[in-house]
Homo-oligomer: A and B are copies of this chain.
């Protein structure tokens, strides 16, 4: 029989006892932030569980990692601590375990209705990298920029292409995004225009949250790469295509991306995703030895993008995809990132790159219309993002 919680969890909930994603929240607007896990319609306050002495396994006993305003310290402890925390919490929350179930005082202190909490960024992000690992997306972009004959350049099949992104402007789901202003050149050359972006786009991605990481100069072997992946968040890599197109030669995207990138407040652990593991696509040509893995694993996670215009009741599905389509696996991305000696730190974020093809807002003239405000509702498996366009 499947593991069940003593807390009622609706059958359509994203947060059964099998998931238990980690986040950071404030029970009241004035409370200091603290770590929690999602269970049904509740958030379990891990600082209360820690203060009650219930993290008493060998890896976590006595640690203050759940008394921090972010998850970075917990992430730095590595997989033994993550597995122990998950096992402890699954046991505590299970229907057969009395410790929390029958302790009204502790339940009162530690279980907060999700509708009342404010979620904040779960980690301090030292560096954010965005990969470009979906073959469908790469092909679509290549057809636009290089034509249908050779849409993908040779280097893409040899290494997971990536660029450094902006860490400061990563925001948690639900934070308004201000429409960026900038230069563009619709014909590709001067005269240039200046004003709010007319080609604001989303990119549906997931992103790895890095665990312990490595010292500068000491690459992580691909065999150890999975131990440096704590879990995954959803990500919307907002992109202003008109700004991006004009600025990107020869050094890549900059202001077309750095005005904001939204992540989900909940980090789904790799352990929770394990039942959804599946084979990654076969790679041809064969990757170099430093990127070769015995078992090449993706995860079967269906993803969906919806847009909800201001004043409308219904949202419209504009994109459907699946994480299993990644050509380069998460572990290959991580091993590649460090092969030159680059150091990863706990809480670093590695975006997968767009998992589906881009859909520009201008493709939805009926949504844009002559409105002054537009709310984009970006609803994906586990979360919601909103964008507020301050003019259009």
Contacts and interface: CB of A to CB of B under 8 A. Distances in A.
Interface string A21-49: 00000000000000000000000000000
Contact of A166 (B127, B180, B181, B240): B127
Contact of A252 (B182, B189, B252): B252
A161 B217 contact: no
A158 B183 contact: yes
B165 A164 contact: yes
A145 B342 contact: no
B126 A163 contact: no
Given A126-B167, A168-B348, A285-B190, A180 B252 contact: no
B251 A192 contact: no
A180 B343 CA distance: 12
A126 B217 CA distance: 20
The count of identical subunits is 2
Contacts of A340: 180-182, 240, 243, 255-256, 258-259
Contacts of A178: 216-217, 341
A90 B129 CA distance: 43
A315 to B, nearest CB: 25
B183 A258 contact: no
Given A164-B258, A216-B260, A251 B182 contact: no
A158 B192 contact: yes
A345 interface: yes
B164 A166 contact: yes
A246 B258 CA distance: 25
Interface in A161-192: 161-169, 171, 177-178, 180-183, 185, 189-190, 192
A242 to B, nearest CB: 11
Interface in A148-169: 153-155, 158-159, 161-169
Nearest to A138: B250
A163 B251 contact: yes
A258 to B, nearest CB: 4
Contacts of A159: 183, 246-247
Nearest to A196: B340
B183 A219 contact: no
A254 B127 contact: no
A168 B339 contact: no
A276 interface: no
Nearest to A128: B164
Nearest to A178: B217
A344 interface: yes
Given A154-B189, A219-B181, A162 B342 contact: no
A163 B342 contact: no
A252 B250 contact: yes
Contact of A182 (B180, B248, B253, B339): B339
Contacts of A288: 183, 192, 194
B246 A190 contact: no
A260 B216 CA distance: 8
A391 to B, nearest CB: 13
24 contacts: A127-B168, A141-B250, A154-B189, A158-B185, A158-B190, A159-B246, A159-B247, A161-B250, A162-B251, A163-B164, A164-B166, A164-B254, A167-B167, A169-B216, A169-B342, A171-B216, A178-B217, A181-B341, A194-B290, A248-B250, A250-B252, A258-B342, A259-B340, A260-B341
Given A155-B247, A171-B216, A248-B250, 8 more contacts: A127-B168, A132-B251, A163-B251, A164-B166, A178-B216, A251-B252, A251-B253, A255-B342
